Structure 1
C-alpha cells in the first residue's frame, strides 16, 4: 500500500475509504460511464474481494470495468458500490461543513468550517469512523462509535428490553458494552415462576448470539463487550465461558476488579461471592447492578460462596494466558480517577476497552495523526502545530455532540449532561521512528510523558475556553470536578489548568481517549493507535480482499539503504517485552482521563505466573485495564510472524484460507492467519513469510526409518506417582541414550475412557521423543503439555496439577532435572517435608483433596474407576443400575 502525503489514496487505502467512509449513492442503478466504483470481484461470504475501477461501458444491468490493476472485467450493477465522494478532499469538505453547522451565526460557522477543514487536510485529524461515514451524509447514521447501555433489569422483560436496545444500536453501526452483574446468579430462585435462574452468563450468551446475527445480516460486524464484577457468584463461570465452544463467540469479555479484591489477592485472603436478597420488596425497583449503592440503602446482601481470592485471580490469569480473554478492568480505580465520579459512575467499557462509560454513555472519537507533526529541520516535534490542531480538534468533537442524530432519548439526555469526548492519537510509532526513539526504551517513556502531557494541557485549556464561550457541561461542579484522581494529577503538573477550570468552567467531562484506530489508521497509512508496528511487511485479509502491505516509513529507509538492516529503533510489537508494553501504556495513561486500547504482546513461552506478574505490575503502575496476547495462544490469532516452531493448526488454516488469494496476488509469501476486532470490523492479517517453505513435506519411508530411534530390548528409567484431577497417575519415563525416549501412563481403571486416553497420550509422546534428533524435543514437549487445563486442578504451587498432560510435563521436568521439589502437606498444621532423593520409583506425596487449590471435589478413591462425562466433561461417569450415569450433572447414557 502506498499513501501520498497530500491525501490522495491508492491501493487498500482507497478501497477502505470508498467502502467505509465515502458518502454512498444509495441507487447504484445511476452508474454511468466514467464513474469510479468499488466492485465485488469475489462473492464469498467469508472471504469476499472488492476492487476499485472505472466504468468503461454499460448495457442495461451489465457493466465493463477497468480495474486499478489494469485488468478489465465484466460485472453487474448489483455488485457495485457507487459513491458520491471519490476523494478525501470531498469528504473533508463535507465534514467541515456539517460539524461547523452547529455554531451560532454565519461568521462563526464560516470561521470554524475553515479551521475544521484545515485540521482535516492531509489527515492531521482523522475522525472516528462513524463521524467520517455519517456527518453531513445522513440524518439517520449515528456519529458515535460505541455505547454502554444500563445493566439489564433482572427480569425476562428487562433482559428482552436490553436486547432490543443493543440490536437497535448495532444496526446503526454502534458497538455496545453491557455489565451483566445485575442479573441473578445461576440456580437462584425466581419466585414468580417457581423456578430457578439460568444465570447471568447464559443471558450473556443470548446477547452474543444476537450480535452474530447482526454480523451476518449486514456488511459491518456488531461489536459487543460483556463485563462482570468480581463479587458476582457467577464470576468463575464467566471467566471460563469461552472454553466451552459455542456459548459466547461474538463478544469480548472483561472482569471488573476492585481495589479490595487486589488487596485480597496480594494478602492471600478469602473473597465473598455475593448477590442482593432477591426477596427484598423493593428489589425490582431499586436493584440496578450497583452493589455499594444497595448496601448504602441498608439492603440485605446474600453470601453465596467464599473462595480464596487467589483462586479467582488464577482463573482469570490462566484463561487470559490461554486465549487472551477475559481482560481485566480495574473498575474501582477507574471510578476514583473518573471526572464524573460524583454524578455518573462508570459501569462498563466499550467493546475495545478504551472508553469507560456510565449507563447510556457514548464514545465520541477522533485521532490526531502524530506522524504529521515531525519537524525534519529541527529533528523534533512541531509543538506549535500540534498544539493548534489539538485545540481545534476539541471543538470539532464538542460540536459533534450537537450535530449527531440521537435514536434514544436517554443517550441524548446523558451526553448533553456531560458532553463526553475522546480525542486520541494514531501514528505514534511512526513519529518515534522519525525521531529515532526506540519504543519502550527509558528514553521513550520520558518522551511520551512530555508528548501526552502537552496534549492533555492543550486539550483541557481548549475545553475551558469553549466553556467560557458556550457554557460548561450541565453537571459541572468545579469543587467536585477538580477532586477526581485524574484532575489532581493534571493540576499538580499544570496549575494553570486548575485556575482555568475554576474561572471559566469545563465544557466536557472528559476529553481524551486512546482508541485502536485500526481501519482509519490503515487507510491513512500510519501506525494504529498507540501501538508499535506489528510487522513492516505483511498481508491483510478482510472483506475487501487479500492485500500485501508495506509500512511506508520502513520501506523508505530500505529503499534508501539497500541491503542494510533496519536500525534498532525500528521495533515491532513482538520484539518488545510484555513489560515494555505495559510501561508505555502506564506512561500514556497518566495523561488520559478515559482509558486506552492497548495489547501487551507476549512470547509463546510466557507462563501463567509471568501473566500474573504483568497484570499486577499494570495495577501498580496505574493502568485502568490490561489485555495480553500470547503468541500462538489462539489457532486464529490477531497477528503472527513466521516462527521456527510453526503452529500447525494455524498453518493449516493459513493454507486453507489464503491459497486462492495468494494465487490471485501472484505471491506465495504468507504465514498463519489471524483475526482482530478493530472498530467493530473483523480483519485477518497475515505476516509476510514463505508459504511454500512452511508447507509440510512428505517423508520417504527410508528417511523415517533412518531418523526413528528403535527401542532397545532393555531400558531403564523411573516411575512417578502423581495425583491428578482424574485419579492417581503412574508415569514411567524410560531413557534412550540418556535422554527421555519412552513414556507409559497408567491412569484409571483398565478399559475406561481415562485409561484409553492416557495410553494414547503416552504413545504419541513416545513417538515424538524417538523421532529425529533430540535437541530440544524434551523441552518442546514440556512447553506444549505444561499448563494444559481440564475440568479441575489439584495441588498447590509447584505441585499444582491441571490435567494428565500437565502431570506428564511435570514428571519430565523432574526427570531431566534429577531433583524433587519441596512439598507442603496440608494438615492441621503446615509441616514441610523434603522428599527423599529420587529412586527408581520416585513418588510425589498426595495433597489432600479438600485443600486442593481450585479443584473440584473429586474423590481420589473413586476417580480411578470413572470415565469422562460427555456432557459436563468431569471424570464422574460411573455404572449405576446397569447404566453409565454422571454423578455431577446427572447425564445418563441410557436416557
Structure 2
C-alpha cells in the first residue's frame, strides 16, 4: 500500500478523495482513488474486453503516482457527480458593448463557480476616450472593464469553494496597451488577475530595428510610438511588479498544429495553453522522478511506454467529462486537445546528481522530452487508426505544420497513413497541488527552496525537501552541499529561460514557468532576457524579480536572522534624543479638499501641508453616514496625521493603507475603491502626484539629494549594527540551506489565505509550499 505522509496526506484527504453528499470521506488510500479514476476513464472503450484491458493499463501508470492527471480528473472521474474534468478555459473576446461585456463576465463567473480558470483577450473593447454614439459620450476603455472581470473574480474567491483564476490579455497594438501594462502599479484597480501582453512577430522586428509602431483599433490609428518605447514599458513594469507576462501570440498561431482551422486568442491563467474561443485544457503529468534507477541512470524506455498509455487516457477524458456549455464541447471534440507534460524534473536531476541548468542537465532533459514527444505522437496515430482522427484533421494541411515538420520522418509517414487522434498533444502545465500529492518537484521548475516553514495549529515547523533531508541525514557533519542541490534563486535568469526554450522545442503547445531573478537584476537585463526568450523560440515568458512584489517575497532564514538583528538594534531602549515626536500643529495651515465616492457614501478628504508644501495632516468627512464609518475614517486620519507630523515618508503611509478591501468596493474614475482606508490612500496618491507635477527641477534635485544622503546615513548605521550577522552569513555561504520565512512587514502580507504560510512565485503563479494553495488553481 502506498503510504502518504505529512502535507501529501493532508492534500489527498482534503482535495482528492471521494466524499458523500455530507462530506464524509469514502476513500482512505491512493489505491482506491487510482481504481476509481482508471475504471471511469476506461469506460469509454467500446467493448468490455477493451475496458478491462485499458483499466488495467491506466491503473499501472497511475500507481505510485507515475502519472498524475489534472486535479479535476482526480476529483471528478468516477465520482457520480456531473463535474467538468477540465481545469481551464478561454472564453470569446467580449462584444464591444455593455451587454456583450456583461454577458462575457457572466460566462466567466459561471465557469469559475464550477472550478475552472479563465483566460480572456480584451482587445475587442474599444479604447479609452473613443466616441460612443449610443450614449453620446466616450468609452472608458479595455482596462477599466478588465477591472470588472477582476472584481467578479474576487467575488468567486470570497463566495466559492474554489478560488477563481483569471488571465487578462491585450494585443500589443491596442491603443490602451500602455495603460494595461502599468495598471498593477496602482493598487486596487486589477487585483485578481494575471496580465499578459499578446506580442506579434512584426512588433518584435520593429523593436529590433527601432521602428515606429501604430496603436490602432477598428481600422483607425490612434497613436504612433516607437516600438522600443512600448517594449521598454513592458520590461520595466515586469521588473517592478512581475507583470505583465508575454504571449508571443503570432508565433503561437504559426507554430500550432491547428494553424489552418483555429485562431488562438489567449492563454489559460498560467499561460501554458494557448486556446481558441471556447477552448479547454485537458492536463496530465508524468512524474519523471520515478524513472531514475537506483544507479542514477534514467529509464527512457519505460518513460516512452508510460507516455503512450497516458495519451490514450487523456483522449478518453474528452469523452468522459461533462460539458456545461455546448460551445466547449464542440470546440474540444473538433480537435480532441490533450496536454501531457511532466513533473518531478528537478528531483530527477538531483537523483542523477546533475545540476539543474548545467549543459549535462540540458542534454538529459532534451532526451526526456524528445522521448515523450515521439512516443505521444506514435500513440495518437495508432489510436487514430483504431478510433479515427480528430474531426478537423486534413492530412495535407496538417503535415505542413511547423511542429509536425520537425518530427522524425517515420512518425510523419505514420501520421500520413493513419491520421492523428489529437490535434495538440503536449503541454507543460503547473502541477502545484498534484506534485505535492505525488511528493515530487513541481513541473519543470527547479526546487524553489530546500526548506521552508509551515504553519498549522501546533505552530511553525521547518519542513525539508525529502531528497535534501535524506542527504543531510546521511551526511550530518558535512558543511558543504553538492552543487546539484541548486534552488530557483541560485540559478541565473538565463539558465531558467534556456531550459524553457530547449523544452519548448519538444512541446506543441506551451510552458508554464517562472524565470526567477535576483533583486539586483536590472531593467536592461530584463530587456535582454525577454529578447533571449523570443530568440530561443519560447511562446511566452513570465518573470519575477525577488522582492519586486511584497505579496510574494520569500527569504531564507539567514536573511530573517539578519532582519532580527536589525530589529533588535532598532528595538533597544531609546535615549531621550532618539524618541520620535510629532511636530506641534501651528495655528493656521493651508490645504486642499478632495471629493471621492466610496461604497459608504461620498467622502471629503482634506490634506493640509506644512510650510514646505509637504503633507502634514489629513481629515475626512463621509457624507451623512455617521456611525461606524465616521469613526473609522476619523481613526485612520488621526493615525495618518500622527505619522506625517512625525515626518514618516508619505509613500510609506500610503503603502500601509492602500489596497485594504472592505465589503462594499465600488468603481471610481481611476479604478476600484476598495474601502475607506483605500479611498484615503488614493487621495494621498493624487495629492503627491499634484505636488510632484508642480515641483521645479531644482526642487526635485534637492529632494533627491536629501533622500540619498538620508539613505546613505541609514545604510552605514545598519551596516555597523549588523556587521556580525553579515560576516556570519558570508561564512555560511556553503553551509546547509536554511528554511524560508515570511517578510510580512513590507506593507502587504504575503501570507497564504488558507494556512498563513509564505507564498512564492513558481510556474507563473503565486503558490504556497505550506499547504499547496495556488492563486491560479
After TM superposition, the score normalised by the length of structure 1 is 0.65
Say whether residues 1:415 and 2:332 are aligned partners.
Answer: yes
Q: Offset at 1:767?
A: 3.3
Residues in 2 aligned to 1:335 and 1:403: alpha-carbon distance in whole angstroms: 28
**Native 8 Å contact 2:122 2:169 kept in 1:** yes
2:22 aligned partner: 27
Residues 330 and 212 from structure 1, CA distance in 2 versus in 1: closer, same or farther, beyond 3 angstroms? Answer: same
1:332 aligned partner: 250
**Native 8 Å contact 1:526 1:551 kept in 2:** no
**Native 8 Å contact 2:303 2:371 kept in 1:** no
Say whether residues 1:504 and 2:418 are aligned partners.
Answer: yes
Secondary structure of residue in 2 paired with 1:405: coil
Q: Within 5 A, what are the aligned runs for 1:830-845?
A: none
Residues in 2 aligned to 1:250 and 1:452: alpha-carbon distance in whole angstroms: 34
Of 467, 470, 477, which residue of structure 2 is paired with 1:556? 470
Residues 769 and 693 from structure 1, CA distance in 2 versus in 1: closer, same or farther, beyond 3 angstroms? Answer: closer
Of 265, 286, 303, which residue of structure 1 is paired with 2:221? 303
**Native 8 Å contact 2:34 2:59 kept in 1:** yes
1:478 aligned partner: 395
Residues in 1 aligned to 2:518 and 2:247: alpha-carbon distance in whole angstroms: 23
2:45 aligned partner: 103
Residues in 1 aligned to 2:413 and 2:457: alpha-carbon distance in whole angstroms: 50
Q: Offset at 1:219?
A: 3.0
2:632 aligned partner: none
Structure 1's unaligned 5+ residue stretches are: 1-5, 29-81, 277-300, 645-670, 672-688, 707-746, 778-895
Residues in 2 aligned to 1:16 and 1:245: alpha-carbon distance in whole angstroms: 32
Residues in 2 aligned to 1:262 and 1:253: alpha-carbon distance in whole angstroms: 19
Say whether residues 1:265 and 2:207 are aligned partners.
Answer: yes
Larger displacement relative to structure 2 (301-310 or 752-761)? 752-761
Secondary structure of residue in 1 paired with 2:123: helix
Cα deviation digits, residues 644-685 of structure 1 (max 9, x gap): 5xxxxxxxxxxxxxxxxxxxxxxxxxx5xxxxxxxxxxxxxx
Q: Offset at 1:327?
A: 0.2
**Native 8 Å contact 2:300 2:368 kept in 1:** no
2:383 aligned partner: 466
Q: Within 5 A, what are the aligned runs for 1:414-493?
A: 414-489=331-406, 491=407
Larger displacement relative to structure 2 (765-774 or 559-568)? 765-774
Structure 2's unaligned 5+ residue stretches are: 579-688, 721-777
Q: Offset at 1:133?
A: 0.8
Of 79, 95, 113, which residue of structure 2 is paired with 1:137? 79
Residues in 2 aligned to 1:136 and 1:749: alpha-carbon distance in whole angstroms: 63
Q: Offset at 1:401?
A: 0.4
**Native 8 Å contact 2:16 2:75 kept in 1:** yes
2:546 aligned partner: 631
Residues in 2 aligned to 1:486 and 1:357: alpha-carbon distance in whole angstroms: 17
Residues 750 and 154 from structure 1, CA distance in 2 versus in 1: closer, same or farther, beyond 3 angstroms? Answer: closer
Residues 346 and 543 from structure 1, CA distance in 2 versus in 1: closer, same or farther, beyond 3 angstroms? Answer: farther
Say whether residues 1:16 and 2:11 are aligned partners.
Answer: yes
Residues 770 and 690 from structure 1, CA distance in 2 versus in 1: closer, same or farther, beyond 3 angstroms? Answer: closer
Cα deviation digits, residues 185-244 of structure 1 (max 9, x gap): 111111122222111111111000000000000232100000000110011111011112
Of 522, 530, 535, which residue of structure 2 is paired with 1:620? 535
Residues in 1 aligned to 2:459 and 2:9: alpha-carbon distance in whole angstroms: 13
Cα deviation digits, residues 86-140 of structure 1 (max 9, x gap): 2111111110111111110110111111111111100000110110111111432
- RMSD in angstroms over aligned alpha carbons? 2.6
**Native 8 Å contact 1:585 1:596 kept in 2:** yes
**Native 8 Å contact 2:76 2:83 kept in 1:** yes
**Native 8 Å contact 1:631 1:640 kept in 2:** no
1:398 aligned partner: 315
**Native 8 Å contact 1:15 1:544 kept in 2:** no
Say whether residues 1:532 and 2:440 are aligned partners.
Answer: no
2:96 aligned partner: 154
1:121 aligned partner: 63
**Native 8 Å contact 1:391 1:459 kept in 2:** yes
2:28 aligned partner: 86
**Native 8 Å contact 2:547 2:553 kept in 1:** no
After TM superposition, the score normalised by the length of structure 2 is 0.75
**Native 8 Å contact 2:245 2:540 kept in 1:** yes
Secondary structure of residue in 2 paired with 1:328: strand
**Native 8 Å contact 1:199 1:234 kept in 2:** yes
Q: Within 5 A, what are the aligned runs for 1:674-753?
A: 695-698=567-570, 700=572
2:511 aligned partner: 596
Q: Offset at 1:703?
A: 9.4
Residues in 1 aligned to 2:434 and 2:342: alpha-carbon distance in whole angstroms: 11
2:234 aligned partner: 316
1:193 aligned partner: 135
Residues in 2 aligned to 1:445 and 1:98: alpha-carbon distance in whole angstroms: 38
> For the pair shown, which has the larger CA radius of gyration, 1 or 2?
1
Where relative contact order (Cα < 8 A, 6+ residues apart) is larger, the structure is: 2
Q: Offset at 1:558?
A: 1.1
Residues in 2 aligned to 1:219 and 1:172: alpha-carbon distance in whole angstroms: 9
Q: Within 5 A, what are the aligned runs for 1:51-62?
A: none
Between Structure 1 and Structure 2, how many residues are aligned?
608
Residues 197 and 749 from structure 1, CA distance in 2 versus in 1: closer, same or farther, beyond 3 angstroms? Answer: closer
Q: Offset at 1:561?
A: 1.4
